[in-house]
Amino acid sequence: MIDVKLKPILPLLSKLPAYKLQNAAGDDLIDSLREYNFDLDNYSIAEVLLLIHGFGIFEHKELFEAILASLGLDNFRWGNNKLSREFADLYNLDGELFFRIKTVVPITEEAVTQSKLHSYQIDIKNSISRLLLIDSNKQSLMVQMPTGAGKTRVAMESIYDLIRVKADKDSNMTILWLAHTDELCEQAIESFQIGWRNIGTTSVNFVRLWGNVSKINGIPLGVNFVVCSFQSAYSMLKTQHDSIADLMLDLRSRLEVIFIDEAHMAMAETFEQTVNFFSSHKTKKIGLSATPGRDGIDSDLIETKKLSRFFEDNIIDIGSVYSIDDPILYLQKKNVLSAVTHEPLDTGLTLNFENIDIKVLTDPTKNLPAAIIKELASNSLRNKKIIDHILYLAIEEKKKILVFAISVAHANLLSALLNSHNLSAQSITSDSHTSDRRENIRRFKQDEIQILINYNILSTGFDAPKTDCIVIARPTFSVVLYSQMIGRGLRGTENGGTKACKIVNVVDNILNQPELNHAYKYFEEGWKND
């Protein structure tokens, strides 16, 4: 489903020469669409391009210049200028999105109303607050909670406690939140605002350090909640610009605590350097993860132990708080997590692995070979079975579906095919423009889109509570990745989610996927003191 704001540009795009449109779509996508007898006239290809690229179409140099040339605007330069705005006005284009004006994702009224914390959340929150406010013997803590159990909510409540208690004594107190994607950064700001607007006792400055940070003048005086992506933080650390370097030093000097979202990823070399830069003898460090370790091979056990030492072997989880062996089952019985049913979808596909080392195919730290990925993504038999099953789930079972594709090309193809069946589907990938990803996530959350197909974007931290079906068309042997993917549909009715979630595992002649609770239990050994 094309964003309504983009429809005015469709006639202009469709009038371009066919070869330009086909080149922009790419041979792989065009060939795949032909296999499905897709109508490949200019208009339909233009629709596919707008579906895939969204507002990023205006950053596609060849296409946009061709559109301008067709209008006699060869010397046109896109930007915040008079001619650009006249162009936008002429074709009824949304200027706010079109000009990339930074906006905060609106908070819905539904989201503003927060339920009370569950008992396990209160107990874990109190443990975090004790470390932040009382305990001087420990500087670090890892918080492990299954996906959907409310890690972010618990962390925010502990931040509220910290500000209420210490803001009067430390008027320049600064809290840093580190996350891995722009979407998770914006989500952190929104999560903080939802609660603080109801219980806040003092003014808090929100500082966004991701994307384009060149206009940031510094950290303001007062209480600050600073949200920064790992990528931006690392880039700023390596910059030669004095102003940025001064900002980073100022931030470090004023830090009270660092919260590290998806902290199991912090052991990557660049991320570890970033955290170490901000760490000092007075700065507390809180990690958040559903899977505080790495996948189960010897080298990863070493990484898990390294992560354990990074947080002083100090971990709190639901199992330790309540002395239970299966936290997931415990939370499902309380309707905090949804009940899960697994449904295999056998593609009947037989891949040839004769020239491929089986260890490569089963190593959880590695991606599948590129040749295998391409074959899986383009195989018409496999894709037909996936599409047919999604059609059934969407139409007959009325499911709200999140699909994990195997590649960018695969996500785009599935989106195009589903839209050709008049379903509201959208792809978002690592190639999508940030503003388009943000807008399509909003549309999915607000039920404007029924099916969201993604690649390499929504495996961590994404929150769409009403998702009640996950289709995993991306084979993986990674316990961590698998648990993160299915975790997008685990929020139960007590947390604003669904009673049950169906997990559809697309099965090829590759080894079986990991199991649901494997990831949560797997890393205990790595967190035991030597």
- Per-residue pLDDT tens digits for 292-338: 655 544 445 677 777 888 888 888 888 778 888 788 888 888 888 88
The answer to whether 404 touches 414, Cβ cutoff 8 Å, is: no
Question: Is 485 among the domain residues?
Answer: yes
Together in a domain, 66 and 123: no
* Neighbouring residues of 175: CB distance < 8 A, sequence distance ≥ 6: 159, 162, 163, 224, 225, 226, 255, 256, 257, 259
Instruction: Answer yes or no: is pLDDT of 457 > 70.
Output: yes
Cα–Cα distance for residue pair 183/212, rounded to 1 Å: 14
Long-range contacts of 264-273 (CB under 8 A, 24+ apart): 264/289, 264/291, 264/292, 264/293, 264/294, 264/307, 264/480, 265/180, 265/230, 266/307, 266/310, 267/294, 267/303, 267/306, 267/307, 267/310, 270/230, 270/234, 271/230, 271/234, 272/310, 273/234, 273/237
Identify whether residues 312 and 338 lie together within a single domain.
Answer: no
Q: Which of 305, 323, 341 is the last residue of a domain?
A: 323
Do 515 and 418 belong to one domain? yes
pLDDT at 77: 66
Distance from C-alpha of 130 to C-alpha of 52, rounded to nearest angstrom: 48
Instruction: Note whether 277 and 360 are same-domain residues.
Output: no
Q: Is residue 104 part of a domain?
A: no
pLDDT greater at residue 491 or residue 126: 126
Q: Are residues 194 and 264 in the same domain?
A: yes
Residue 171 has pLDDT above 90, yes or no: no
* Side chain identity, residue 241: H
| Residues 372 and 274 placed together within one structural domain of the fold | no
* Terminal-residue alpha carbon distance, the chain: 54
- DSSP calls for 7-59: GGGHHHHHTS-HHHHHHHH-HHHHHHHHHTT---SHHHHHHHHHHHHGGGGGG
Examine residue 489 and state whether it is found in any structural domain, yes or no: yes
Residue 517 and residue 372 share a domain? yes
Is 463 among the domain residues?
Answer: yes
Mean pLDDT of the chain: 79
Of 323, 355, 389, the one marking the end of a domain is: 323
CA distance 257 to 280: 10
Q: Is residue 264 part of a domain?
A: yes
Its domain, for residue 172, covers 115-323
Mean pLDDT, residues 403-416 taken together: 91
**Domain for residue 109, yes or no?**
no
Please check whether residues 45 and 165 belong to one and the same domain.
no
Same domain membership, residue 163 and residue 234: yes
Share of the chain above pLDDT 70, in %: 81
Considering the domain boundaries, does residue 58 fall inside one?
Answer: yes
Least confident of 104-113, 337-346, 370-379, 412-421: 104-113
Residue 315 and residue 307: Cα distance in Å, rounded?
Answer: 11
Number of domains in the chain: 3
Across the range 386-401, mean pLDDT stands at: 95
Cα gap 209→221, rounded to integer Å? 16
- 23 and 49 in a single domain? The answer is yes
> Could you give the CA distance from residue 173 to residue 257 in angstroms, rounded to a whole number?
9
DSSP assigned state of 326? -
Distance between CA atoms of 487 and 68, rounded to whole angstroms? 45
Tokens read off for 354: 């004769």
Local confidence band at 469 (pLDDT 50, 70, 90 cut-offs): very high
Instruction: Answer yes or no: do 40 and 132 share one domain.
Output: no
> Given pLDDT bands bounded at 50, 70 and 90, which one contains residue 110?
very low
Nearest Cα to 461, choosing from 208, 156, 185?
185
Using the 3D structure, point to which of 71, 98, 125 is the last residue of a domain.
Answer: 98
Q: What is the widest separation between alpha-carbon atoms in the chain?
A: 72
Asked if 251 and 178 count as a contact pair (C-beta separation under 8 A), the reply is no
DSSP per residue over 149-186, as a string? S-HHHHHHHHHHHHHHHHTTT-TT-EEEEEESSHHHHH
For 42-80, write each residue's pLDDT tens digit.
898 888 888 887 777 776 777 777 877 777 776 666 666
CATH of residue 337: 3.40.50.300
Give the integer Cα–Cα distance in Å for 314 and 126.
Answer: 15
pLDDT of residue 259: 96
> pLDDT of 234-290, one tens digit each?
888 887 777 888 888 888 888 999 999 988 777 777 788 888 888 877 889 999 987
Name which residue leads in pLDDT, 159 or 11.
159
Q: Are strands 451-455 and 255-260 parallel, antiparallel or unpaired?
A: unpaired
Among residues 482, 466, 341, 471, the alpha carbon closest in space to that of 418 is found at 471
Q: Is 430 part of any domain?
A: yes
From 330, 298, 285, select the one nearest 149 (Cα to Cα).
Answer: 330
Residues 284 and 414 placed together within one structural domain of the fold: no
